[in-house]
Amino acid sequence: MTELNKSAFLETIGQDVPTVVDFWATWCMPCQVFAPVVEEIAGEMDGKANFGKVNIDEERDLAIEYGVSSIPTLVIFKGGKEVERLVGVRKKAEVVEAVDKYC
């Protein structure tokens, strides 16, 4: 998964394929637990969806702009618009199902 800064973020979410953005931080233990699950899903869905990560400490403005108040938060975008949001650690099947709706 690619670490996204503001310019890469805007370019990535603007694509026609769904883009899943993982808002996280290094100090967040639930984020650390959830990261391998998201990485696994990203590998399995390669070609169907894009995946990226935003470190909220490094890209605070993006977290504020997109209303991220709790992490981990996965935001699914399609065509530049948010279509779904999953807050907190989730089961792999739940994330896959959410992303599949937009593929």
Q: What is the mean pLDDT of the chain?
A: 95
The predicted pLDDT at position 7 comes to 87
Residues 42-64 have pLDDT tens digits of: 999 999 999 999 999 999 999 99
Boundaries of domain holding 81: 2-100
Rounded to 10 degrees, the C-alpha dihedral 92/94/98/103 comes to: 50
For residue 9, the model assigns a pLDDT of 92
Q: What pTM value is reported for the model?
A: 0.95
Instruction: Verify whether residue 103 is a known catalytic residue.
Output: no
Q: Quote the pLDDT of residue 33.
A: 96
* pLDDT beyond 90 at 66: yes
**Res. 1: pLDDT tops 90:** no
CATH code for the domain of 76: 3.40.30.10
Say what percent of the chain tops pLDDT 90.
90
Residue 31 among the catalytic residues: yes
Task: Give the count of domains, the chain.
Answer: 1
Q: Is 82 within 8 Å of 75 (Cβ atoms)?
A: yes
CA distance 72 to 23: 6
Cβ pair 12, 50 in contact under 8 A: yes
Identify the active-site residue in 28, 54, 75, 76. Answer: 28
How many other β-carbons are positioned within 10 Å of the β-carbon of residue 57? Answer: 12
Question: From the CA atom positions of the chain, what is the Rg in Å?
Answer: 12
